[in-house]
Homo-oligomer: A and B are copies of this chain.
Amino acid sequence: MASVHTVTEATSAPSWDPYERGCPSRDLLDRIGDKWSILVLGELGRHGTSRFTQLRKQLAGVSEKMLTQTLRALERDGLVVRTVYPEVPVRVEYSLTPLGVTLRGPLKALTDWSLEHTTDVLAAREEYDARAVRTG
Protein backbone atom coordinates (compact mmCIF):
# COMPACT_ATOMS: atom_id res chain seq x y z
CA MET A 1 0.00 0.00 0.00
CA ALA A 2 1.25 3.33 -0.88
CA SER A 3 2.45 6.41 0.78
CA VAL A 4 1.19 7.54 4.08
CA HIS A 5 2.87 10.45 2.41
CA THR A 6 6.33 11.21 3.61
CA VAL A 7 5.08 14.74 3.89
CA THR A 8 8.32 16.52 3.46
CA GLU A 9 8.05 17.45 -0.18
CA ALA A 10 4.68 19.14 -0.16
CA THR A 11 3.93 18.47 -3.83
CA SER A 12 1.23 21.04 -4.24
CA ALA A 13 -0.16 19.67 -7.46
CA PRO A 14 -0.68 15.96 -7.96
CA SER A 15 0.69 14.55 -11.16
CA TRP A 16 -2.38 12.49 -11.92
CA ASP A 17 -5.67 13.56 -13.30
CA PRO A 18 -8.60 12.32 -11.22
CA TYR A 19 -10.90 12.65 -14.16
CA GLU A 20 -8.98 10.66 -16.72
CA ARG A 21 -10.56 7.38 -17.75
CA GLY A 22 -13.08 7.54 -14.93
CA CYS A 23 -10.31 6.24 -12.75
CA PRO A 24 -11.21 6.24 -9.06
CA SER A 25 -8.15 8.15 -8.05
CA ARG A 26 -5.81 5.67 -6.45
CA ASP A 27 -4.55 8.44 -4.26
CA LEU A 28 -7.74 8.64 -2.27
CA LEU A 29 -8.34 4.93 -2.18
CA ASP A 30 -4.84 4.49 -0.89
CA ARG A 31 -5.50 6.76 2.01
CA ILE A 32 -8.56 4.93 3.25
CA GLY A 33 -6.95 1.67 2.30
CA ASP A 34 -3.93 2.05 4.50
CA LYS A 35 -3.41 -0.05 7.52
CA TRP A 36 -5.24 2.01 10.13
CA SER A 37 -7.33 4.69 8.47
CA ILE A 38 -10.49 2.66 8.16
CA LEU A 39 -10.28 1.62 11.79
CA VAL A 40 -9.64 5.16 13.00
CA LEU A 41 -12.47 6.52 10.89
CA GLY A 42 -14.70 3.74 12.16
CA GLU A 43 -13.93 4.52 15.79
CA LEU A 44 -14.52 8.20 15.36
CA GLY A 45 -17.69 7.47 13.46
CA ARG A 46 -19.03 5.34 16.28
CA HIS A 47 -17.65 7.30 19.18
CA GLY A 48 -18.06 10.79 17.88
CA THR A 49 -14.93 12.01 19.58
CA SER A 50 -11.82 10.41 20.98
CA ARG A 51 -8.59 11.38 22.58
CA PHE A 52 -5.23 10.07 21.50
CA THR A 53 -4.72 7.54 24.24
CA GLN A 54 -8.33 6.45 24.02
CA LEU A 55 -7.89 5.72 20.33
CA ARG A 56 -4.74 3.77 21.02
CA LYS A 57 -6.62 1.46 23.32
CA GLN A 58 -9.59 1.12 21.04
CA LEU A 59 -7.41 0.21 18.10
CA ALA A 60 -5.38 -2.24 20.13
CA GLY A 61 -2.12 -2.87 18.38
CA VAL A 62 -1.41 0.44 16.76
CA SER A 63 1.85 2.08 17.73
CA GLU A 64 2.02 5.72 18.71
CA LYS A 65 3.89 6.47 15.58
CA MET A 66 1.37 4.86 13.27
CA LEU A 67 -1.57 6.41 15.04
CA THR A 68 -0.01 9.84 14.80
CA GLN A 69 0.78 9.39 11.13
CA THR A 70 -2.69 8.14 10.33
CA LEU A 71 -4.34 10.93 12.26
CA ARG A 72 -2.18 13.55 10.57
CA ALA A 73 -2.93 12.17 7.14
CA LEU A 74 -6.64 12.11 7.81
CA GLU A 75 -6.46 15.63 9.15
CA ARG A 76 -4.61 16.79 6.09
CA ASP A 77 -7.26 15.25 3.88
CA GLY A 78 -9.95 17.13 5.73
CA LEU A 79 -11.59 14.01 7.13
CA VAL A 80 -10.66 14.47 10.76
CA VAL A 81 -10.37 17.53 12.92
CA ARG A 82 -7.91 17.87 15.75
CA THR A 83 -8.78 20.10 18.66
CA VAL A 84 -6.24 21.07 21.27
CA TYR A 85 -7.36 22.19 24.70
CA PRO A 86 -4.48 24.05 26.28
CA GLU A 87 -4.98 22.61 29.72
CA VAL A 88 -2.36 21.04 31.91
CA PRO A 89 -1.69 18.45 30.84
CA VAL A 90 -2.83 19.18 27.34
CA ARG A 91 -5.94 17.46 26.02
CA VAL A 92 -6.43 16.71 22.35
CA GLU A 93 -9.64 15.50 20.81
CA TYR A 94 -10.23 14.01 17.41
CA SER A 95 -13.49 13.81 15.55
CA LEU A 96 -14.85 13.60 12.04
CA THR A 97 -15.31 16.67 9.91
CA PRO A 98 -18.49 17.03 7.86
CA LEU A 99 -16.52 15.63 4.95
CA GLY A 100 -15.40 12.75 7.11
CA VAL A 101 -19.00 12.07 8.01
CA THR A 102 -19.88 11.60 4.35
CA LEU A 103 -17.46 8.70 4.34
CA ARG A 104 -19.28 6.87 7.09
CA GLY A 105 -21.85 5.32 4.80
CA PRO A 106 -19.46 3.85 2.25
CA LEU A 107 -17.18 2.68 5.02
CA LYS A 108 -19.96 1.03 6.91
CA ALA A 109 -21.01 -0.83 3.79
CA LEU A 110 -17.51 -2.17 3.62
CA THR A 111 -17.08 -3.21 7.22
CA ASP A 112 -20.55 -4.71 7.22
CA TRP A 113 -19.57 -6.76 4.23
CA SER A 114 -16.41 -7.94 5.91
CA LEU A 115 -18.30 -8.92 9.05
CA GLU A 116 -20.93 -10.69 7.04
CA HIS A 117 -18.60 -12.62 4.79
CA THR A 118 -15.68 -13.42 7.03
CA THR A 119 -16.63 -17.06 7.25
CA ASP A 120 -17.06 -17.32 3.50
CA VAL A 121 -13.62 -15.92 2.91
CA LEU A 122 -12.08 -18.10 5.59
CA ALA A 123 -13.67 -21.16 4.06
CA ALA A 124 -12.44 -20.18 0.61
CA ARG A 125 -8.93 -19.79 1.96
CA GLU A 126 -8.94 -23.16 3.60
CA GLU A 127 -10.16 -24.82 0.47
CA TYR A 128 -7.61 -23.03 -1.63
CA ASP A 129 -4.79 -23.97 0.71
CA ALA A 130 -5.97 -27.56 0.95
CA ARG A 131 -6.00 -27.81 -2.80
CA ALA A 132 -2.58 -26.23 -2.99
CA VAL A 133 -1.24 -28.88 -0.62
CA ARG A 134 -2.74 -31.72 -2.63
CA THR A 135 -1.55 -30.24 -5.88
CA GLY A 136 1.88 -29.66 -4.44
Contact = CB atoms under 8 A, between A and B. Distances in A.
Interface residues of A, number: 55
A133 to B, nearest CB: 7
B118 A18 contact: yes
A33 B24 contact: no
Given A2-B35, A34-B33, A133-B10, A77 B112 contact: no
Q: Count identical subunits in the complex.
A: 2
Interface of A: 1-2, 10-12, 14, 18, 21-22, 24-26, 28-30, 32-35, 38-39, 42, 60, 75-79, 99, 102-103, 105-107, 109-115, 117-118, 120-129, 132-133
18 contacts: A11-B129, A14-B122, A18-B115, A18-B122, A21-B60, A26-B35, A28-B117, A28-B118, A29-B39, A29-B110, A29-B111, A77-B121, A78-B124, A99-B117, A105-B109, A106-B106, A109-B110, A110-B110
